[in-house]
Chains A and B, each alone.
Chain A
Amino acid sequence: DAKTTQPPSMDCAEGRAANLPCNHSTISGNEYVYWYRQIHSQGPQYIIHGLKNNETNEMASLIITEDRKSSTLILPHATLRDTAVYYCIVRPPWSYGKLTFGQGTILTVHP
C-alpha cells in the first residue's frame, strides 16, 4: 500500500473549518484515498473516500489534487466532538479491504 504522511497534530477553533492535509506521493492510479477518525476510546469511524474527484458527504469534504499526490480533508464547521485522531489511508482494490493505519493527525478543536 502507498505510504501516507500526515502532520502529527493540528489545532482548530470551534466553528471554523479544519483542513487536514495528507501526502501520498507514491499513490498508484487505481488506489483510493480513505479517511477515518478515532475519537478517544471508540473504534475508528469511516468519514469519506475518493479516487480522483472531490467528494462531499454530510461529515466532510475531500479534496484530491489533480496529480493525486496529496489530499485535504475538510471539516467545514468543526465542533468539540470532532477532536480525534484522523487517519488518511491509501488502499488498492485488491487488498481485500485491509486498512493500513499510520500515526494519523491528532486534531484538537478548542472553544
Chain B
Amino acid sequence: EAGVTQFPSHSVIEKGQTVTLRCDPISGHDNLYWYRRVMGKEIKFLLHFVKESKQDESGMPNNRFLAERTGGTYSTLKVQPAELEDSGVYFCASSGGTGRHEQYFGPGTRLTVT
C-alpha cells in the first residue's frame, strides 16, 4: 500500500510568487493534516481536514495560505504571495481513525523562497 506522497519534493521560488504544494494521503484515510518546520524551529501544525471539511485551521499563519481538499481525496496548500519567512519543510500526514490514531507522514516538500 502506498504511503503519503507529496509533490514537489523541493520548490525554489522568488518572493512574491505563488507556489502550490500537493499531498496525496493514504487511500481511505479521512483525516489529512498539514504541518511545517521553518529553519531552526519546531514542527508546527497548520490545519486538519476531515474528508473535504476543514476541522481545525488554527495553525494557519495568515491569509496568504490557502488549503483545499477536493472531494476528500488529495489536498493542496497554496502560498500566495510567498514571503521569505515561508521557507521551510511542509509535511502532510493522514490518519484513518477518529483522530486518536497514529498519523502517517509524507516525506515533505522543501520550500525555498529567495
Q: Write the residues of chain A forming the contact surface with B, with a CB cutoff of 8 angstroms.
A: 32, 34, 38, 41-46, 49, 93, 95-103
Q: A90 to nearest B CB, angstroms?
A: 13
Q: With CB as the reference atom, state the residue of chain A lying closest to B97.
A: A97
Q: B88 to nearest A CB, angstroms?
A: 13
- Interface of A, secondary structure class, is loop
Contacts A96-B48, A101-B43 given; indicate if A44 touches B105 (C-beta within 8 A): yes
A97 cross-chain contacts in B, Cβ below 8 A: 31, 33, 48, 95, 99-100, 103
Q: Are B56 and A96 in contact (CB under 8 A)?
A: yes
CA gap between A90 and B93 in the complex, in Å: 18
| A38, A49, A96: most-surrounded residue (chain B CB, <10 A) | A96
B99 cross-chain contacts in A, Cβ below 8 A: 93, 95-97
Q: With CB as the reference atom, state the residue of chain A lying closest to B46.
A: A98
Contacts A43-B93, A43-B108 given; indicate if A99 touches B103 (C-beta within 8 A): yes
Q: Are A98 and B105 in contact (CB under 8 A)?
A: no
